[in-house]
Structure 1
Amino acid sequence: MKKIVLTANDDRGLSGEMSMHFGHCSHFVLAQIDSDNKIASAEVHPNPYAERHEPGQIPEFIKSLGADVVVAGGMGAKAIQWFNNLGIEVVTGARSGVAETLDAYLDGMVAGVSECKHEH
């Protein structure tokens, strides 16, 4: 089983809205994908670091979920590097909905990564 984590703005799972900023999403949706590239299950996890986090905390949390891939609307260079070091594939360029984004990823329509260039 492949495990894909998607960023979400709510706790509605696959019915939810994607979060366009990785570090500040309120929830993560963990989808398990079977050998036929179909969604076997999905569960919601609150982001324990949504309000405040140190570099590496969120990637380590996502690794603890067993993720193979993380999909977000956008992600900064430091987070991308953390995931690369942990062996987790990063994909950016989400659609508006969690299910829509996951389907697009599974169909090869959402792939690759581009770094966010935002100011804090």
Structure 2
Amino acid sequence: MKIALPSRENRIDDHFGHCEYFTVFTVDKDNKNIISEEKISSPEGCGCKSNIAQTLSDIGVTIMLAGNMGAGAVRVLNNAGIEVVRGCSGDLKTVALKWLEGIISDSGDSCDHHECHN
């Protein structure tokens, strides 16, 4: 299983569409261990209008752990087969491991405008 996180300086970037890069963890789901990590360059401009959802899907990402994200981006990721978990913050590995433990779930909160940074 592969998990992607919008990233900036090894932390969740609060705004998916303008993150510095995406960190992708490959996880041994049976043991819930991170077995590898890679960085994917973020496209220029708005993430939901780029091909990042398909790019991540093509490499096997099925989960996006994110801070804030607009409804359009959620829809684009869902259409690419990627489940979105919003409301995440903090250190990338810590967030991923907490999600694997079942401690983190989707907040359901969406940005309702392009400049949302809450």
Q: Normalising by structure 2, what TM-score?
A: 0.84
5+ residue gaps, structure 2, are: none
Q: Report what 2:45 is aligned to.
A: 52
Q: Distance in 2 between matches of 1:27 and 1:56?
A: 13
Aligned CA-pair RMSD: 1.7
Q: Report what 1:118 is aligned to.
A: 113
Amino acid in the other structure paired with 2:100 = L
1:9 has 2:4 as partner: no
Q: Report what 1:13 is aligned to.
A: none
Among 60, 65, 86, the residue aligned to 1:66: 60
Cα distance, 1:45 vs structure 2: 1.6
Q: Report what 2:17 is aligned to.
A: 23
Cα distance, 1:108 vs structure 2: 1.3
Cα distance, 1:85 vs structure 2: 1.4
Cα distance, 1:114 vs structure 2: 2.3
Instruction: Report if aligned partners of 1:56, 1:82 keep a CA contact under 8 Å in 2.
Output: no
Amino acid in the other structure paired with 1:97 = D
Secondary structure in structure 1 of the residue aligned to 2:84: strand
Q: Distance in 2 between matches of 1:67 and 1:88?
A: 7
Sequence identity percentage: 30
Instruction: Report if aligned partners of 1:20, 1:72 keep a CA contact under 8 Å in 2.
Output: yes
Cα distance, 1:110 vs structure 2: 1.5
Secondary structure in structure 2 of the residue aligned to 1:110: coil
